[in-house]
Chains A and B, each alone.
Chain A
Amino acid sequence: MLGFVFSVIVVCSECEFKDLQSAINSARDWDRIVVKSGTYKGPVTVDRRVELIGEREPVLDGEGKHQVLTIRADDVRVEGFVIKNSGMSYSEDIAGLKVINSRNCVIKNNRFLNNFFALYLERVSGCLVEGNNIVGFAKTEGSSGNGIHAWSSEGLIIRKNFIKGHRDGIYFEFVKDSLIEGNRSEYNLRYGLHFMFSNDDVYRNNHFYKNGAGVAVMYSRNIGMEGNIFERNEGLANYGLLLKDITDSKLYKNKFMNNTHGAYLEGCNRTTFEENLFENNGWAVRIYANSEDNLFRRNSFIGNAFDVSTNTLSYFRNTFEGNYYDRYEGYDLDRDGYGDLPYRPVSFIAFLFEKYPLTLILYESFLARLLDAMEKLIPLLNPEALVDKKPLMVKP
């Protein structure tokens, strides 16, 4: 009876089973299939609850024609494989590994190489994706898929993966109650991480480096963002973090470094920014007028060309309170830790630039400094509401 529960099937070139599909066909639920190293051809479909364990990195090759591995059963584990060369299709989402209508899958320590979509999760719940190394060779956005693509799923845990060279590193569409943690996503054409219509998710301690944009959160609610690093997402219209039509989210202790835009807020409401670091960005924070009730507290602004920029003079309904600005020139006579003079984080030239992008050729010129100094004395152009009444004197 026990032997029946834990039976192990071995696949190798000299074994009884020489290819993976026949091994799966003869396996029963809860079997373990051990695949020895070697190259095996796709496509392979898994339709029962089995564990696929690769020993010394067996290769599953799609030969650029079809989907390599498809999983249509619950409780499947895939570990230690190299999955490469899936086909490419403009009409179908072909992937290196696709999981469909499944629960509790585990995808661990695999390498995905040169796939269209690398890992595709479709109507999946409670899946763990951990320690995978995903490398694509995307050239244009149209001809490439995403690294980890999740659609209409819930309860996913995506942890400690490395993703490079796809369209989006990780893409969430209609995914809820999921966690993305400790991943590194770099050199992706579009976004390092992309949320669409996904609610109640958390991503933390990830590193987004040199993507088209670090992270884009769109049309989503209640997203937690913690301890992430957004670095060197630079280019004509590039963002560390793009927030578009999202509400009730929270950013805590993230680092934005050397991005063209640190955080870009469009239609972003009731979101809290706390203890984040904005360092050496072109624009640390860019807020559009349709963003309301956001709170910025205890953030640090250091060495940015512009701390805050906005397209409105009159209607600004966000709060800046107790942030640290390296440009602040006030003093603290009563020694309560807060500067005695309010700080206006929008500079004159930042406002001019918002309207006339070309004025940037005058950045750091004597005239621009003069105008900024004048603006401090005679505040005509600053949005009246955009002021930090209690700027911090030292970095939090």
Chain B
Amino acid sequence: MFAKLIKYELYDLFKSKWIVGLFLFYLLVTYVLLELGRDFKKALISHNNLSLITLTLFSLLLSTNYLYNNKNFIEFVLTQPVKRSSLFVSLAVSLSIAIAIGFSLGSFLPFYYHFGIVPLYIKTITFNLLLIPLFVLSGLLIAILIEDKLKGLGLVLLLWLFSSTLYDGIILYLILIFSDYPVEKVLLFLTLANPIDLIRLVALMETGLYEVMGFAGKWVAKYLRELWFLPALLSLFYTFILLLLGLYTFRKKDF
């Protein structure tokens, strides 16, 4: 049943222009970055930064929209003997898979065209993929909690703004306030608590820029070198928590 659900949802998603648009967007952007820059590392960092911003936004918007627009379908499926939890998980999985395919294919092809197979960009793209289920689940959660589509989308935008910019703003502010105190570890932990920052730092490490970054670079590197699996683990952990939350609200929800 679960596989069938995913099949139908994926079919539906690939029919919609969203995913194709996503694929074309990343294809074009990555191609232009590589054409203009001609410098592998620079293009990689730019691509990573862009993905961190756009991928989260797309994941959020696409998942919220999907839930709002397919309310009838969901209500129809629920009249059948289908477990609520498997419906929710199938939604999250199929959305994540669709976005992941659009993003990774769109990014991979230009890189491959220019440089062939290089582990470095494959690594960064993979790290970026970790963000997708996280934000898909957040988007679904918001859409379940809030009936009003407009309000829901507003909240999604707010969440995106918060995680991509405001959170860093708060960290910056904390650094300025507590600059006289030894709060490095706390602030590092706070930075790592935000998946977007986490993956940005990992990508910076991977491209080797930290080696020349002096004090803070070395210091971040020291922790992230030893804990290279931490980003994957942390994102999985966040994903798991969001999944539980989503399941709980989806079960409680009166469709």
Where the two chains meet, the residues of A that have a C-beta atom closer than 8 Å to any C-beta of B are 234-238, 258-261, 280-283, 303, 305, 352-353, 355-370
Closest to B164 in A: A366
Interface size band for B: 20 to 34
A361→B216 CA distance, assembly (Å):
7
Closest to A281 in B: B212
Closest to B191 in A: A361
Q: List 28 A-B contacts (CB under 8 A).
A: A235-B218, A236-B214, A236-B215, A260-B212, A261-B214, A280-B212, A281-B212, A282-B214, A282-B217, A305-B209, A305-B212, A352-B172, A356-B179, A357-B216, A360-B213, A360-B214, A360-B215, A360-B216, A361-B220, A362-B172, A362-B191, A362-B197, A364-B49, A364-B204, A365-B200, A366-B53, A367-B168, A367-B169
Q: Mark B169-206, 1 if CB is under 8 A from A, else 0.
A: 10110011001000010011001000001001100100
Closest to B194 in A: A365
Q: Is the C-beta of B75 less than 8 angstroms from some C-beta in chain A?
A: no
Say yes or no: B204 contacts A236, CB within 8 Å.
no
Q: Is the C-beta of B45 less than 8 angstroms from some C-beta in chain A?
A: yes
Q: Is the C-beta of B254 less than 8 angstroms from some C-beta in chain A?
A: no
Say yes or no: A236 contacts B53, CB within 8 Å.
no
List CB contacts (< 8 Å) of B94-118 with chain A.
none
Cβ–Cβ < 8 Å partners of B172 in chain A:
352, 359, 362, 367
Say yes or no: A366 contacts B217, CB within 8 Å.
no
Given known contacts A369-B49, A370-B165, is B217 in contact with A358 (CB within 8 Å)? Answer: no
Chain B nearest Cβ from A360, distance in angstroms: 3
Say yes or no: B42 contacts A365, CB within 8 Å.
no
Q: Is the C-beta of B147 less than 8 angstroms from some C-beta in chain A?
A: no
Chain B nearest Cβ from A277, distance in angstroms: 15
Closest to A282 in B: B212
A237→B41 CA distance, assembly (Å):
24
Chain A nearest Cβ from B165, distance in angstroms: 5
Chain B nearest Cβ from A208, distance in angstroms: 15
10 nearest A-B pairs in the assembled complex, by CB-CB distance: A360-B216, A282-B212, A367-B168, A260-B214, A356-B179, A282-B213, A358-B175, A365-B168, A361-B191, A260-B212
Where the two chains meet, the residues of B that have a C-beta atom closer than 8 Å to any C-beta of A are 39, 41-42, 45, 49, 52-53, 164-165, 168-169, 171-172, 175-176, 179, 184, 187-188, 191, 197, 200-201, 204, 209, 211-218, 220
Closest to B52 in A: A366
Please give 11 more A-B residue pairs, beta carbons under 8 A apart, in addition to A280-B212, A361-B188, A367-B165. A234-B211, A355-B179, A357-B215, A358-B184, A360-B220, A361-B216, A362-B171, A362-B191, A364-B45, A364-B200, A366-B168
Cβ–Cβ < 8 Å partners of B200 in chain A:
364-365
A359→B183 CA distance, assembly (Å):
12
Cβ–Cβ < 8 Å partners of A238 in chain B:
214
Say yes or no: A360 contacts B169, CB within 8 Å.
no
Say yes or no: B213 contacts A363, CB within 8 Å.
yes
Chain B nearest Cβ from A147, distance in angstroms: 26
Say yes or no: B218 contacts A236, CB within 8 Å.
yes
A154→B171 CA distance, assembly (Å):
56
Closest to A257 in B: B212
Cβ–Cβ < 8 Å partners of A355 in chain B:
179
A178→B223 CA distance, assembly (Å):
46
Cβ–Cβ < 8 Å partners of B211 in chain A:
234, 258
Chain A nearest Cβ from B227, distance in angstroms: 15
A370→B164 CA distance, assembly (Å):
11
Chain A nearest Cβ from B159, distance in angstroms: 15
A261→B211 CA distance, assembly (Å):
11
Cβ–Cβ < 8 Å partners of A236 in chain B:
214-215, 218
Closest to A306 in B: B213
A259→B211 CA distance, assembly (Å):
9
Say yes or no: A303 contacts B42, CB within 8 Å.
yes
Cβ–Cβ < 8 Å partners of B184 in chain A:
358
Cβ–Cβ < 8 Å partners of B52 in chain A:
366
A359→B214 CA distance, assembly (Å):
12
Say yes or no: A365 contacts B197, CB within 8 Å.
yes
Say yes or no: B217 contacts A360, CB within 8 Å.
yes
A259→B217 CA distance, assembly (Å):
13
A281→B213 CA distance, assembly (Å):
8
Cβ–Cβ < 8 Å partners of A359 in chain B:
172, 175, 216
A234→B200 CA distance, assembly (Å):
22
* Residue in A280, A358, A361 whose beta carbon sits within 8 Å of that of B179 in the complex: A358
* Residue in A261, A283, A353, A361 whose beta carbon sits within 8 Å of that of B171 in the complex: A361
Cβ–Cβ < 8 Å partners of A357 in chain B:
215-216
Closest to B171 in A: A362
Closest to B192 in A: A361
Cβ–Cβ < 8 Å partners of B197 in chain A:
361-362, 365
Cβ–Cβ < 8 Å partners of A260 in chain B:
212-214
